[in-house]
Structure 1
Amino acid sequence: MQGGKMMFGCQQVLIDPSPELRAILEFVCGESNKLHNCGTYYARQLYFKENKIPSRFDLHREMSSNVHYRAMYSQVAQQCLTTVAESFKSFIGLLKGIKKGTVTQKPKLPNYRKPGLNLVTYPKQSVKLKDAGLRFPLGKQVNAWFNVDCFYLPMPSNLDYKKIREYHILPRNGAFYLELVYKTEPVKSDVNPNNVLGIDPGLNNWLTGVSNVGTSFSVDGLHLKSLNQWYNKRVSILKEEQLQGFWSKQLARITEKRNRQMRDAVNKAARIVLSHCLQHRIGTVVFG
């Protein structure tokens, strides 16, 4: 606890599923997507007809007999509907902000997701650590349909199981990730808020930093720029003479590879900035 707030970290692990596990993950994430749209439909109709929005408890109650709700583990289905309720709550908050003058652009009513896969969230109490790994339950209905009551994923060796608060099954561009949200202890650093680092973003020089304590650094962006140019060129070739909205497994594969490279570069650049600040006791960063 620091300043009354609990701090959380997040780690993503790429899942290498067998054909059987891939089928289970696609089923669960597909049902999550369908349930999300069912909850969105109910919330939109309630807003149109009565100018009200449902609470997460309203959605849980109304959707409890829905076939997609029953096809998921109950706590997982509730997490999915809670996300829908929070999006409508945020929409109403933005509308109030317009009346107060704190928001200038009119927000859009939350809309439906495209057919496909959606994030699945397991709370910590639903997942147990067994000898075979992390056990994720599937619920009674799935067990009755397919005679499968759970699936297992490896537990990362660098995390403490007791500190994990949520597990996310994240589908992205044909791949699946296990995202683990865990409690972390705040780190106190010996920095001076009067020491300031200014960072200017660019292309060839991705980040250029200069401080008022006589230090400077730059992060080269040429390699990243080259990777991005190759990706854009390849996408243009693959989409040539195709219908609008065309997508393929090859496009998904190269997009996911490019996104991983970008995330890796962002993480490494952030580490360079943080290390520089800690080394020179810089407590204030001005970006852009």
Structure 2
Amino acid sequence: MYSCQQVLVAQNSELIAILTFLCEQSHKLTNMGIYYARQLYFKSQKSIGKYDLEKVYKKNYHYKVLYSQAAQQILRTVAESFRSYYGLIMAYNEGKISNRPRIPNYRKKGGMATVSYPKQALKLKGNQIRVPLGNTCKRWFGVDSFLIPMPNNLAFSTLKELRILPRNRCFYYEFVYEKEVIVKPQLHQENILGIDHGVNNWLTCVSNVGTSLIVDGKHLKSMNRWYNKQISIIKENQPTGFWSNKLAAITEIRNRQIRFGYK
């Protein structure tokens, strides 16, 4: 089975500039792939093939500025989403599902999207991973690659993919790795756990085998109260959809506290 681990990227201005460029190009290439796949479906009711978008866009600027394997991964992800949609549409037409699925839509203009590198594109140098860049990045930034620390709790041999995730004006490295399942859990269908979701007591759990537990929700409630108050103050008298660097910063702080327990 596959699992993943996220690491926050340190605030290095040169590296952040490179990651911003990569994720912006990924965003544009993603929208181009979505446009072609949507037009193909609307005009012929056909789903895009796994490698079709690469053939169409391999000479395009936004494809060529990225490392080739990263660009391929972006377009294959788009193709997979449309193939999934096509399969759902067939299931809907056959009456297997009741709600009509929505065709994948464009990403919001001016954003950033994930950049993925398969294991084959990466090299381990000491305790760091070398991430290659395309020729345009080499000319603009004066480097042909950048190095990121290899997590101490992972082995490079188990790594399957490296993703660069843009989130609230921050970046994360996501390491996708293969995890061996040594012991398969034994399912005892006669055992039951009842879970009541609340606020101050976030989860109250009682089983039929004489055990119970309560997950305290007061700290989580306090963080959300602070966050909602700050959002309300900043958005006061602002137009609908208003967003700013300060909003992004406090949103990221709150999300990190909930996910990882730190700022």
Q: TM-score if structure 2 supplies the norm length?
A: 0.94
User: CA distance change for structure 1 residues 71 and 209 in 2, over 3 Å: closer, same or farther?
Assistant: same
**Partner SS state of residue 101, structure 2:** coil
Write out aligned runs for 1:1-288 (5 A). 7-114=1-108, 115-131=110-126, 133-188=128-183, 191=186, 193=188, 194-264=190-260
What amino acid is the match of 2:95?
G
Structure 2 residue aligned with 1:282: none
Counterpart of 2:85 in structure 1: which amino acid? F
Question: Equivalent residue of 1:56, what SS?
Answer: coil
Report the Cα distance in structure 2 between the residues aligned to 1:190 and 1:9, rounded to whole angstroms: 17
State the distance in 2 between where 1:154 and 1:17 align.
Answer: 14
Considering only aligned residues, what root-mean-square deviation do their CA atoms show, in Å?
A: 1.5
CA-CA distance at 1:191 after TM superposition: 4.5
Whole-Å Cα distance in 2 between the matches of residues 132 and 213 of structure 1? 47
Pairs aligned (count)? 259
| Change beyond 3 A, Cα 1:14–1:146 | closer
What is the percent sequence identity of the aligned residues?
54
Contact 1:28/1:72 (8 A) holds in 2: yes
TM-score scaled to structure 1, two decimals?
A: 0.86
* Structure 2: runs of 5+ lacking an equivalent: none
Per the alignment, do residues 145 and 19 of structure 1 end up closer, same or farther by CA in structure 2, a change over 3 Å counting?
Answer: closer
SS of structure 2 residue aligned to 1:62: helix
Q: Which stretch of the first structure deviates more once superposed, 163-172 or 93-102? A: 93-102
In structure 2, C-alpha distance between the alignment counterparts of 1:38 and 1:189, rounded to whole Å: 43
How far off is 1:53 after superposition? 2.2
1:132–1:152: 8 Å Cα contact kept in structure 2? no
**Any conservation in 2 of the 1:15–1:177 contact (CA below 8 Å)?**
yes
The 3 A distance-change label for structure 1 pair 151 and 190 is closer
Tell me, yes or no, if the aligned pair for 1:10 and 1:180 is still in contact at 8 Å: yes
- CA offset at residue 190 of structure 1? 6.5
Q: What is the CA–CA distance in structure 1 between the aligned matches of 2:102 and 2:180, rounded to whole Å?
A: 38
Q: Spell out structure 1 runs of 4+ moving beyond 6 A.
A: none
Alignment partners' CA distance in 2, 1:66 and 1:122: 19
Letter aligned with residue 232 of structure 1? N
What whole-Å deviation, never above 9, does each CA across 1:171-229 have from its counterpart, x for those lacking one?
Answer: 10011101001111114167451322222211111111111111111111111111111
Decide whether aligned partners of structure 1 residues 164 and 50 sit closer, same or farther in structure 2, where only a CA change above 3 A counts.
same
Moved more, 165-174 or 183-192: 183-192
- Whether the 8 Å CA contact 2:70–2:115 is kept in 1: the answer is yes
